[in-house]
Structure 1
């Protein structure tokens, strides 16, 4: 149990401000070059910054949240697509400021998250360590652990911040019967991230079973069972307003399909997984998707991240040896089994077959608490043998890293990143040795200065990674990213009242048009639905899990098919500040001609643009191949560019749809099927545009359109097929057909007609009711519990007075 003596005055305040300061120092190379703007890499730049700025502009313009969002790819459910940024209280801090200030507020909010992560870790660990200083160091180690460093590229900081506090509230609920806090935190956690909530609930179940089995939790009785059931049930059900739409919309998502049961269950097919777990305990993590040692892409995206600054695995191992039967030692054994057995590990990812290790931040907190227990008595420890083992592993990893650099050509931007991380580990080993075996010549490395040493070792990996990112492309990468993101603070304004989509086929950027308020097919969003993914599979593009949609100059036919009118190219300065005139740019996107220049952005307009809502005269059976066996004909169908041109020749239907609409559409003749010339492509675009809706107006719940048809026909819309859409022709409901293996069409009779699609968020109404009822039950339960406890205390006090 903790000592009553407080060893640090105001530890939480000191820890918070120290952590914030160390974080800002750690990322200072980026802040200096970007002039205060927080820009890290990958997902944070492509998703978090863009999505939060987009939502902020919606709020500040008074538009509010739509049910269906048109700005991301072909349109998505808004609630599920941006739930990370709707329910997070930290994002609402950013929404409270003017949108123009947001690029700088990201820095403040990230520092705030890191500081609070240290505080919540302190609160949890202080229950199990003797000294404030040990808990203080636990807070620092958690806030600057491998997970926090690696996941600066993601929007995961809130999860890491809340977890220690939720575990603390769970302990208080079980041990001291304190109500409300655990359920409230669980509800917020589920709203912020349903996926992480699943992982956390599963870990809490393991945590409870282990602690009960080791008798560190009270024995389960009826009263405790009811408390756990009510709080857990209310916590989860309070998030029903998101949970019901989330799981309804994402059925069939590319990341949700493919279960572990079709793969190896007991042993990993990739032997690098276990080695990667070991490596993660001794080296700071590499930048996302650039692992030095292991080539597996999934390992690079979601690696185990068990790095503890300075102490590495030493403190955990020492406590593990001394207290083998303690609940935390038993829990680590169970977690090791789960991490090393594929089917158990995949249970944290709902049994998905892709390797997923983000749940390991939960046992990492326990490992850091064990390190705190080790620090309690660090002056009495003499871990010579253990230090030698750690030094041997670090030495081996360095030697193997040199071998990799010389012979294996690792997937990384440059050698500097690995050199920095190897130096950080080596420096930590030296400091760790001198802490236990001090030398007069370096007397400042001693236990009395342990807080300062931990601060240095925490900031170093952050500084090294930030420096690596900042120096990329001769320190010009960050300014170029700012140009792509904000165009030198000059908005990209396109004077065009017609509905259109944009692309970034030449710049190879994602989501950026959302900042300017324009729909974009160049999308990076994990919430793409199964029907959209199915359509993407027909395009011939090799998309990354169907969530990272980057188009190239060979996709010009697909762009026209999807009503892309403008390609936005950011004309960046060359190395050394050399400027390229827009007219000198080499352009290879067929049919797009230069329109105008807006600061760094050059706009190219599609002369083969097709408005939304058009018809066909012919059909192709989905998965059809040419009837003849000519090899060149078959090759044309398989080629990506030619395959996409077929989208413009005929509508793709199933056998059932062909039987249903065969009287109004004709099978595409063989000669037209095989004619994929550029001239025919332009003619097909003109034909589709001539039949398009003369009016198309998107809104918050779908769209309204008008069309004048010379005959009965199917009107195609490049809108994802979704069973939560209802279509109306002249106000009367009609069936939506699933065409092109994932897009939408409706049957419209001859004449002038109005067409509307209305989207309803699935389960949202019932979710709000369930959330409200659950919150009410929790409040009643809390009030009743407090009243009963007060009466018991009152009776106990009366009994004492009478005695």
Structure 2
């Protein structure tokens, strides 16, 4: 029984600084060798290399140049705020890069991760320290949280660490309000968590509701109706303060069809992949697999699910000890609820707005509760550590032995089968995971010998042991990941991180897009060149609508194959880059004049790539003579639609009525789709284009000279609600055409200046809402301060832990 308050015991600066430096220092030890090996960069594999690094540099450069609204280098074009709030716009760590020049940003990725690890240790300490008598115990828990399996796994997803850092502050602020009714702190914590990452905030809301109700029903807290009202008020204010980012982001995200996918039927109650249950259990007792390479359960269908919750050194021993010794404790109840929710699909999905796509990206919340149970076990005289360690070792063995020795048949490439022992995918990695799991517990047994007889030595031995295990398993996982990566020294560093400085193309003032043939995801983003390829989950809904209409899958990325070659002409794609260091070649191996798409010719080899030029490139801003209705378009074979879009423009019904006087309806039944027809259609479109096209930070400007009648000028820029247009200074109607792009009508016999401006939908309204809530919050603090001064006893009452 001890005070439940944010007010620390001991010297405040020393303990807080120690918490940060421990997390930072240990991370330096396992990150630094890889940074030195990669010439000052930290490069990992997969999403980290092709999303985190180019996203950071590209948006850093955009903001420094004043481009806050439209990203020309994200897919076919995207709302910058809507597309990048999830990844980095709300992150204070991203904003730390702005004082640095562009070329320095990739070098900052490693140091920023170290900083994040230190901050995670600090914030976990801030939450845990109120529950312990000795602050060294809280430091141990902070290290367990900062270097849990979830944290190390999600180095792959760099932006997940912001949630790991800010979540403990949310719980600490909630605890402080419930204990002392301290005003404003909870609102600020809600604001910080929501502003940093809206996706993770939805999970935090679900967790906080469970956390609050469990503690209330366990009589851990007391609250009056009035105090509850002000708590709810602070939560609303905290969310309202984020409106400047949250509102435009929500308006962008709701366009994505992936969000409307709730669990249904048996899929809401049971996972369809039985191995997933083992995977969930395994992640509690073993270091995590690297993303996309599940080892223990190769068919669990959870490759990027962030399944990691292992605590270095302690594993589940501290959690099991707490569960064994407590009867009516709120933390025991909460842990049981969380473990149960992890096993039921619909309950697991509650942490991501009930989306059926399987993710365990809320497990950082679980690891914080597991760390809390572990540190409380360390200070409990009731705990039988010998029994809990035996249970932990037994479960580890119960998982490992069947996976290691049950036989299975393996299909060979020649059609034969081979029987081998073991269900794991990679036996060598499996035994290393098992060795680390058991070695951790053996080190723990040694450390626990000092627990009762020499507490100071116990803390030293335990902290060193946690640090050693962390460095070993973190370095091993990073090394495994790097082994799956593109060749960093011979490819990424010289040809991607150079920002395309060695690329020199003619007519550089002519706007166009590029294509990457069978290359690394987001290669063009490293060079900050407009492209038709993108690995990015959050893009305008019009892109998500357009690509499937021509038979191109658009889920987390745009990767159109060469069979939709008409797409390149439609989207003003002039150049194609084919990396010389791989076996996939754009040029036919049997005929040097034959390419994987018609109409391309070799230009040069630069920056490690063969460069091909589209001889039938059509500049931005061209016109049509014919139109087809959406019904006509839908009746065309999907495989031919990319070519049909070069023959006639697709108009929605309302646009037909406005423009049928200048366009004739196309006889789509008579369309021909041979190569010769494709060439002629490209030449027809190219014969009547804008004389100039210039993009800038606020949109684009084009000039077009019409003939004897009005013309509808098409731009392959994704339609979005934030666009407005003028023609010769007069407001013009933007038509949504070609299933997701834009066109505007220009007058006859006139050289017209066409201007498109983009303003992020919801940004102005969001800013006004934020200002309004800021004023409301200030008034609340002033009024509550006066109230608390008049009623000091009500405000100063401190509840105690039960």
Normalization by structure 1: what TM-score? Answer: 0.87
Of the three residues 10, 14, 28, the one matched with 1:10 is 14
- Superposed CA deviations along residues 437-480 of structure 1, whole A, max 9, x for unmatched, are 89xxxxxx98862221111112222111122234458x944553
Is the partner of 1:568 in helix, strand or coil? strand
Matched residue, 1:538:
549
DSSP 3-state at the match of 1:504: strand
Instruction: Check whether the contact 1:66–1:700 (CA below 8 A) recurs between aligned residues.
Output: yes
Is 2:225 the partner of 1:214?
Answer: no
* Helix, strand or coil at the partner of 1:188: helix
Asked whether the equivalents of residues 550 and 638 of structure 2 are also in contact (C-alpha less than 8 Å), the reply is: no
Structure 2 Cα separation of the partners of residues 485 and 586 of structure 1: 28
Q: 2:715·2:742 contact (CA, 8 Å) conserved in 1?
A: yes
Q: Does 1:681 align with 2:689?
A: no
Q: Which moved more, 1:254-263 or 1:115-124?
A: 254-263
Distance of 2:267 and 2:794 partners within structure 1:
61
Q: Specify the alignment match of 2:778 in structure 1.
A: 779
2:725 paired with 1:727: yes
Please say if residues 608 and 686 of structure 1, whose CA atoms lie closer than 8 Å, have aligned partners that are also in contact. Answer: yes
- SS in structure 1 of the partner of residue 715 of structure 2: strand
| SS, match of residue 702 in structure 2 | strand
Cα distance in 2 between the residues matched to 1:735 and 1:332: 57
Q: Deviation per CA, 1:63-103, whole angstroms, max 9, x where unpaired? A: 21332222211211111222242332111222222222222
Deviation track 1:297-333 (CA, whole Å, cap 9, x = no partner) reads 8621124322111222221111012113111111122
Q: Distance in 1 between matches of 2:623 and 2:730?
A: 20
Which residue is equivalent to 1:592? 600
1:374 to 361, 377, 386: 377
Aligned to 1:183: 187
How does 1:90-109 map onto structure 2 within 5 Å? Answer: 90-109=93-112
Could you report, residue by residue, the CA deviation over 1:104-135 in whole angstroms, capped at 9, with x for unpaired residues?
22211110100110111112111112322221
Q: Is the 8 A contact 1:120 1:165 kept in 2?
A: yes
Describe the shift of the 1:395–1:483 C-alpha distance in structure 2 as closer, same or farther (beyond 3 A): farther
Q: 1:469 aligns with which of 481, 485, 488?
A: 481
Counterparts in 2 of 1:514 and 1:187: CA distance versus 1, 3 Å: same
Partner of 1:768: 767
Question: 1:613/1:394 Cα in 2 relative to 1: closer, same or farther (>3 Å)?
Answer: farther
**1:380 Cα offset (Å):** 6.4
Residue 743 of structure 1 and its aligned partner are, at CA, apart by 2.0
Partner residue, 1:746: 744
Aligned twin of 2:627: 619
Map 1:266-345 to 2 at 5 A.
Answer: 266-294=269-297, 299-345=302-348
Matches within 5 A, 1:537-686: 537-543=548-554, 545=555, 547-572=556-581, 588-622=596-630, 624=632, 637-639=637-639, 642-654=640-652, 657-658=655-656, 661-662=659-660, 664-669=662-667, 673=671, 675-686=672-683
Work out which of the residue numbers 76, 79, 104 in structure 2 matches 1:77. 79
Q: State yes or no: 1:22 paired with 2:31.
A: no
Matched position secondary structure for 2:260: coil
Q: CA RMSD in A?
A: 3.5
Q: Is the 1:29–1:466 Cα contact (8 Å) retained in structure 2?
A: no
Distance 1:683 1:736 in 2: 28
Contact 1:508 1:552 in 2 (8 A): no
- Give distance in 1, aligned partners of 2:249 and 2:690: 32
Q: Give CA-to-partner distance per residue, 1:687-709, whole Å, 9 cap, x none.
A: 11112222222223322222223
| Partners of 1:724 and 1:760 within 8 A in 2 | yes
> 2: CA distance between counterparts of 1:695 and 1:401?
66
Equivalent pair of 1:617/1:666 in contact (CA under 8 Å): yes
**Structure 1 residues 584 and 157 mapped into 2: Cα distance closer, same or farther (>3 Å)?**
farther
Out of 447, 450, 469, the position equivalent to 1:457 is 469
Length, aligned pairs only: 765
Distance 1:427 1:725, change over 3 A: same
Cα distance in 2 for partners of 1:399, 1:477 equals: 38
Task: Give the Cα separation in 2 of the matches to 1:307 and 1:178.
Answer: 34
What are the ranges of 5 or more consecutive residues in structure 1 without an aligned counterpart?
A: 439-444, 575-582, 628-633, 798-803
Cα 1:670–1:234 shift into 2, 3 Å: closer
SS in 2 for 1:754: strand
Q: Identify the residue that residue 631 of structure 1 maps to in structure 2.
A: none
Q: Pairwise mapping of residues 14-163 of structure 1 onto structure 2 (< 5 A)?
A: 14-60=18-64, 63-83=65-85, 84-154=87-157, 155-163=159-167
